[in-house]
Structure 1
Amino acid sequence: MRSLILAAGIVSLGQSALAETPVLSVLTYDSFVSEWGPGPAIEKAFEADCACDLQFVGAGDGAALLSRVRLEGAATEADVVLGLDTNLTAAAAATGLFAPHGQTPDLSLPVAWDDATFLPYDWGWFAFVHNRDFAAPASFEALAVSDARIVIQDPRSSTPGLGLLMWVKAAHGDRAGEVWAALADNIVTVTPGWSEAYGLFLEGEADMVLSYTTSPAYHLIAEEDDSKTAALFDEGHYMQVEVMGKLAGTDQPDLADRFLAFMLSDAAQEILPTTNWMYPAREPASGLPKGFETLIQPGTSLLLPAAEAEALRGAAIEEWRAALAR
């Protein structure tokens, strides 16, 4: 009987400890939580120190995160959103659903950072990736008059898709609509997110895919395949700075703060280059992985301020839709 009572007590204590384990819910994009993405390694590393249960929740591609947060509002169960970028931060801040991060990190970004609500965790340049033996155009205008078949992402659901619109807008201004009209017949298809587009490219359905200058590093480092490269465009390349933010309604504010700080630690920043295949927001002491030195380096970096990107977003999407509907 004593053994049964003791066993019951042990089970009860175990259940009580489990019930008291704090849970941190992080809303992010699907590729982040995939088995080949950074999610599993980030989860393992953070849980080793936090005495908590870190749960990543995938919600499509980056731009879909904002739509979900808006839909759920203050009732959202997420504590942190990870995967928006500077083209969406003004709109995200305007919801009033995010809290200030209160941190002053030492960053390695090529641009100054002064956003009190969102913190960057990685960054990269958008680019069209292609097979090295393909004679890639070196500008949007050259692409438009070529026979190159391209796959891009929908700017309404995908941060790379929206980034491409801002790239054309930043490079060509009022002529953006003309550029899209000229590019329309090069576009094989428009996918909801990055994963679908890149998969079609790898299957040979297109000559080029909208991705990042860092994407060839995946093939080189993970697959020992140097057959992929990115086209260097004369106009320059638009930057993406991916960010994370704490929800104001979180019931785990201290744990959320710890997670934000952890994502900028060496432990996390060392994981991102070879899982998310982007540049770290704060270069770790170990430096960048071997192979990153082979990547193209744009001569001009383009990045619209968050407020300007938000002001242009609606019109840019309409220009894009009108051109592709012709």
Structure 2
Amino acid sequence: MKYLTIAAGLFAATAAVAETPVLTVYTYDSFVSDWGPGPKVKAAFEETCDCELKFVGAGDGAALLARIKLEGARSDADIVLGLDTNLTEAARQTGLFADHTVSAEYGFPIGWNDAQFVPYDWGFFAFVKNVDLSAPTNFKALGDSDLKIVIQDPRSSTPGLGLLMWVKAAYGDEAKSVWEGLSDNIVTVTKGWSEAYGMFLEGEADMVLSYTTSPAYHLIAESDASKDAAKFEEGHYMQIEVAGKLANTDQDALADQFLNFMVSDAFQSIIPTTNWMYPAIKPATGWPNGFETLVIPDKALLISADKVGGLRDEALAEWLDALSQ
């Protein structure tokens, strides 16, 4: 009887484990890093869901969409977290994303009404530098300077694509000549943000494409006030990062629960000091000390999601042509 009791207990425990639902979220690599939001988000959500939250790193933001397109309806993902407004229309056109159930009042400078994608943070792209560097205040002056910059590839990285849209939004038909001026400033083009930022920290470039909020990491996490962001006269391009539910998910209710959890204070309060962005909804406790020191652009630039597709190929061609000369 003793052995039968033990066997029955083991069977019950195994069955309980087998019945625990798993929600699979594809996201970018830095989100799931030890210092990123992933570990804290996982712990906080699992306290509410009686489930396992499984994050899968899939490169940088633009690489997420490429992977989902490749996998199609066969994808193991229930949610994709890490696209932005430069990619949402292309994602929508795949037909792979379902409508969400989230209703929230967001804190970024534009209105939001999207049936399929839920924002979780936002920020402004910027070139991060050492504070003692006297940096140009616009793209043309940067192109005329001897400063070395490292940027990300717009075909695999959302910051890289954001930079293309930033130049396009600021200069329109002059964008090609701006890129021609910048071409000899570019040390290298990396696949993703982490590699580019690491090169900057190792002294391989004077500035790196990142965010106005990036210096907050050094100030808060490292007590290092040596970094800031160059403020550009043209304004700074916004990035709004979003998540969406896959239409083929077999965890529909759990996916909806996660998307609604994403706009809760429990999730949003994690973002500022782990993803080093502004949360989509201001945390109940306000901004962490140090955020008040960040550069605030005089002008916010953003090309609407439905117009990005028509400009992306043109902007990419201008960029490739300038860098090949």
TM-score band, normalised by shorter chain: over 0.9
Q: Which range is displaced more, 210-219 or 282-291?
A: 282-291
Q: Deviations over 1:62-120 (max 9, x none)?
A: 00000000000000010000000000000000000000113211211111001111010
Show the counterpart of 1:225. Answer: 224
Q: 1:159: Cα distance to partner?
A: 0.0
Show the counterpart of 2:308. Answer: 309
1:162 is aligned to 2:153: no
Q: Secondary structure at the match of 2:272?
A: helix
Show the counterpart of 1:284. Answer: 283
CA distance in 1, matches of 2:250, 2:117: 19
CA distance in 1, matches of 2:309, 2:82: 17
CA distance in 1, matches of 2:270, 2:101: 24
Show the counterpart of 2:51. Answer: 52
Normalising by the residue count of structure 1, what TM-score does the alignment of the two structures yield?
A: 0.99
Show the counterpart of 1:102. Answer: 101
Show the counterpart of 2:250. Answer: 251
CA distance in 2, matches of 1:204, 1:107: 37
CA distance in 2, matches of 1:103, 1:120: 10
CA distance in 1, matches of 2:30, 2:61: 10
CA distance in 2, matches of 1:12, 1:152: 54
Show the counterpart of 2:265. Answer: 266
Q: Deviations over 1:4-63 (max 9, x none)?
A: 111111100000000000000000000000011000000011011100010000000000
Structural mapping, 1:59-208, within 5 Å: 59-208=58-207
CA distance in 2, matches of 1:98, 1:186: 39
Contact 2:148-2:185 within 8 A present in 1 as well: yes
Amino acid at match of 1:42: V
- Kindly, what percent of the aligned residue pairs are identical? 65
CA distance in 1, matches of 2:241, 2:95: 20
Q: Secondary structure at the match of 1:229?
A: strand
Show the counterpart of 2:30. Answer: 31
Contact 2:121-2:278 within 8 A present in 1 as well: yes
Aligned-residue Cα RMSD (Å) equals 0.5
Q: 1:311: Cα distance to partner?
A: 1.2
CA distance in 2, matches of 1:287, 1:258: 25
Contact 2:101-2:260 within 8 A present in 1 as well: no
CA distance in 1, matches of 2:312, 2:88: 12
Amino acid at match of 1:144: G
Q: 1:132: Cα distance to partner?
A: 0.4
Q: Which range is displaced more, 105-114 or 230-239?
A: 105-114
Q: 1:163: Cα distance to partner?
A: 0.1
Q: 1:251: Cα distance to partner?
A: 0.2
CA distance in 2, matches of 1:219, 1:21: 39
CA distance in 2, matches of 1:104, 1:271: 20
Q: Secondary structure at the match of 2:188?
A: strand
Normalising by the residue count of structure 2, what TM-score does the alignment of the two structures yield?
A: 0.99
Q: Which consecutive unaligned segments of at least 5 residues does structure 1 have?
A: none
Q: Secondary structure at the match of 1:217?
A: helix
CA distance in 2, matches of 1:20, 1:35: 28
Amino acid at match of 2:284: A
Q: 1:204: Cα distance to partner?
A: 0.1
Q: Where does structure 1 differ by over 3 angstroms across 4 or more consecutive aligned residues? A: none
Q: 1:189: Cα distance to partner?
A: 0.2
Amino acid at match of 2:41: I
CA distance in 2, matches of 1:135, 1:109: 30
